[in-house]
Amino acid sequence: MNELVVPDRVSEWCRLKSLVLDSVSSPITRRVYNLGLDEFIAWYTAEPRPAAFAKATLLAWRVALEARGLGPISINVRITAVRKLAVEAADNGLLAPELASGIARIRGVRSHGVRVGNWVSLQQAATKSSVIG
């Protein structure tokens, strides 16, 4: 039971995807997860791949996302949606729990941010607060 059983059947895919989307409360998160899951299943079914939906599958997808030039946050949101998909699939008997566990352990891409805006030192903040107060 290491095969993702839903890609060939649209109704089953929609059911599994709705389990993931119903598990999040934020409408923005729901919309982004929906996009990420649709992208993943399109990628998963686009080319011949091993039938296994396993850790290696998600790692290959992460490499494909990086090759597209997506930023770390965009990649991490998509990976999180698929990790959640694996957990829901295992909880509903569609994926072996040990495979879902392996998928859930995949780390996201490390983000190296740049400070944006006006950053002040502690001394500047103290000076400003004494001027205001």
pLDDT digits (tens, 9 = 90+) for 11-24: 778 888 999 999 99
Tell me the whole-structure pTM to 2 decimals.
0.73
Model confidence at 121: pLDDT above 80: no
Model confidence at 123: pLDDT above 90: no
Nearest to 82 by CA among 47, 22, 37: 37
d(CA 11, CA 72): 32
pLDDT digits (tens, 9 = 90+) for 58-114: 999 999 999 999 999 999 999 999 999 999 989 988 888 998 899 988 888 887 666
Let me know if 58 is exposed, middle or buried by CB neighbors in 10 A (0-12, 13-18, 19+): buried
Q: What is the predicted pLDDT for the residue at 63?
A: 93
